[in-house]
Each structure stands twice: as C-alpha cells, then as structure tokens.
Structure 1
Amino acid sequence: MSSIGPKLRQLRQQQRLSLQQLAVKADVSAAAIHKIERNDMVPTITTLLKIAAALEQPVGYFIDHDEDPPELATMTTAGHRAKVFTPHRGLHLAGISGPYAQFRGAAAVATVDPGASSGAKLLTHPGEELVYVTEGAMVVDIAGNRFELAAGDSLHFIGDQPHHWANEGAVPARAIWFALRDK
C-alpha cells in the first residue's frame, strides 16, 4: 500500500496535472489526492478507481509490486487479453499491449455498443490517441470537428483537444484503440 502515493504523484507529474486538475478529472478532492500522495491516507477502492480512470491506468498499476525488473517485451495472446477498466458504459476494452506503467503507450480492442458514447462531458488529457475502426462505425468530435469513421478508417489526434466519441449506429463497432501518454 505504501507504493500508491509515490506512484500517484509520479504519474500525475508525468501527465503535467496539478492536484486541482486531477481532482476535477477524477471527481476526488485535491486534499484527498494530496494525502494519498504523502501516504497520509489509504484510498478506498472507489477513490482509487476514479483516480486510475482519470489517469488512464489500471488499478493494478498502483498496487502491483515492482520488485522484478520490467520485461523488455510483452506478448498478449488472443485468448488472454486482459479486460481494461473504463468508466464509460457500452465500451468494452480488451488489452493487447503491455503494462501501461512500463510503456508509454497502451492499446486495446474496443467494442462499442450501439448508442454508447463518452458522455456529456468532453474529454481532455495529455498524450495522443489513435482509433482504427475494424467493424461498424463511430463518430468522433474533436474541438467541434466531426469525424465519421467506417471500417478501415482511422483517426489520430492530440488528447488535450476537447473530444467526444459515440456509436450512433444500430450495430456494435469494433476498433483498435491506442493511447500514447506524454513522456
């Protein structure tokens, strides 16, 4: 548990987020985040889930032990894709990349249910995203520009631009979704 605070502080600073910015993004008070970073408070699982989602990390990143040196490469077989947590209803992610803590990028096979979206609040975050639609269709709005993606289309964008995604169709959409965080 003592590794949660330092990992949280390091990740927040890597993403160039102030305590207040992370508080707004995670819907957790800045005071609580500060206490967690200093190991003055152990977060509840709900709080840790909110913070992990805001920082685009699996909860395991904060609680896994890093006693062994990181692997140079990670292979993910088709039958062993880890489920990736997402707060968005109707979005199902199966990881196809190595641990996000070890690498600067993470990728997943995404299934987006009909009618699912990123919600009413526009998303912004450090880093980049690349979405490659393999089946169905998706709509992505970036800074007021609407992009309609069909199977075979891709969209690469900077994450600090306000953005929103949705499946406005009647069938599930599938995509390879790649996120690259800032250094």
Structure 2
Amino acid sequence: MSAIGPKVRELRTQLGLSLQQLAGRAEVSAAAIYKIERSDMVPTVTTLLKLASALERPVGYFIEEETTDPASAVYIPAGERKVVKTRRTGVELADISGPSERFRVNGVVATLPPGARGSEWSPARPGEELVLVLDGAVDFTVGEQEFALKQGDALHYLASCRYSWTNPHTGSATLAWIKLHDDA
C-alpha cells in the first residue's frame, strides 16, 4: 500500500498534470490527492478506482508489490526506454529514470516537434526541474524571464515557478528533462 502514493505522483508528473488538473479528471479533491501522493493517506477503493481511470492504468498497477529485491542502481538501455504518455500532440517522451518509489528524480528524453508548446504552473508543487538541450533549439519562459536554448544549453528552475516552452523552429528539439521532487 505504501507504493500507491509514489505511483500516483509519478504518473501525474509523466502526464504533465497539476494536482488540480488530476483532481478535475478524477473528481477527487486536490488535497486528498496530495495526501495520497505523500503516503499520508490510503485511498478508499472508490478513490483508487477514480484515480486509476484518470491516470489510464488498471487498479492492479497501484497495488502490485515488486517481487525482487530493489537494486541500488537501475540500468535502462537506450532501446528499452518506456514510452511516457502525454496529451501534447507530436511530443514524444521516453523514461530515463528508475522507479519513483525508490528515487526522488524523474527524467525523460523529450522530443518536441516544430510548433509544439506547453506550460505548467502549480504554486504548491515543490521541487526543481533541469532541462538540457541535446539537439535543436527551444524557447522557455520562467516567470518573467525568457530563454532561447540551443544545443548544449541547460536551464534549471524551481518547479513552483510558472513556466512555458515552445519550439517555434523548423526542426525538432530533443531535451533531457529531469525533475527532482522535494517531498520534505
């Protein structure tokens, strides 16, 4: 049961949903989801069914226990990265991080096609994000600051800041996008 919260948080983050957005999808209060994610509260069966549906996973995903002893390191070969679902058209995300129950960092390789854009803001979301442009270029706005990032550039910001990104260029951009969840 202790794995339910981290799994909910991991999927919500992968889908790019704020607590409020998931609450709207699942018809569960944001406060309850916050408590579940922090393992301060065990969801009722009804709440778990709603969250599973909103996160597009079977209920068993949240309650199955790992059958092997956890390793201190997780190796993810380039050809075996799990695809992370996103609602942004054309954006491809491939997971580069270990299970969120054991690690506080999530990472993806994001491929952003020309014209792709997105934004995020949750003032209550703790943590940090780090973006490294592996190929192409992308424009970011964090708060009132604007950044034109090109290959090799990095941007590190607090997750509680309002941010947006766009790829106004003619080619795709590939980013390593790392998120540190501060659950303190």
Instruction: Give the TM-score normalised by structure 2.
Output: 0.73
Matched, 1:140 2:140: yes
Corresponding residue for 1:123? 121
Q: Is the 1:6–1:38 contact (alpha carbons within 8 Å) kept by the matching residues of 2?
A: no
In 1, Cα distance between the equivalents of 2:166 and 2:143?
Answer: 15
- Whether 1:25 and 2:21 are equivalent positions in the alignment is yes
Instruction: Find the partner of 2:49 among 43, 49, 56.
Output: 43
Which residue number in structure 2 is paired with residue 56 of structure 1?
A: none
- Alpha-carbon distance in structure 2 between the residues aligned to 1:43 and 1:161: 31
Q: What residue number does 1:181 align with? A: 181
Which residue pairs with 2:5 in the alignment? 8
CA distance in 1, matches of 2:126, 2:92: 22
CA shift for structure 1 position 72: 1.0
The whole-number CA distance in structure 2 between the counterparts of 1:171 and 1:10 is: 34
Per the TM alignment, residue 84 of structure 1 is displaced from its structure 2 partner at its CA by: 1.6
Residues 114-153 of structure 1, C-alpha deviation per residue, up to 9 Å, x if partnerless?
111115xx43332111100011111111112111100110
Matches within 5 A, 1:49-128: 49=56, 62-119=62-119, 122-124=120-122, 125-128=125-128
AA of the residue aligned to 1:170: T
Evaluate the alpha carbon distance shift between residue 31 and residue 69 of structure 1 in structure 2; reply closer, same or farther with a 3 A threshold. Answer: same
SS in 1 for 2:156: strand
Change (3 A) 1:88 1:33: farther
Residue 174 of structure 1 aligns with an amino acid whose one-letter code is: T
CA distance in 2: counterparts of 1:139 and 1:11, whole angstroms: 30
CA–CA distance in 2 between the matches of 1:10 and 1:77?
22
For the residue of structure 2 that corresponds to 1:178, the secondary structure is strand
In structure 1, distance between residues paired with 2:88 and 2:66: 29
Question: C-alpha distance in 1, partners of 2:95/2:155?
Answer: 19
Deviations 1:81-118 (A, max 9, x none): 11122233232111122112221102221100111111
Alpha-carbon RMSD: 3.1
Residues 25-77 of structure 1 deviation map (CA, whole Å, 9 limit, x = unaligned): 3123335985994323142543134xx9xxxxxx9963442343322110011
31-40 or 78-87, larger mean C-alpha shift: 31-40
Residues 69 and 39 of structure 1: CA distance in aligned 2, closer, same or farther (over 3 Å): farther
Does the Cα contact within 8 Å between 2:7 and 2:100 map onto a contact in 1? no
Is the partner of 1:103 in helix, strand or coil? coil
Give me the whole-angstrom Cα distance separating, in 2, the residues matched to 1:76 and 1:137: 26
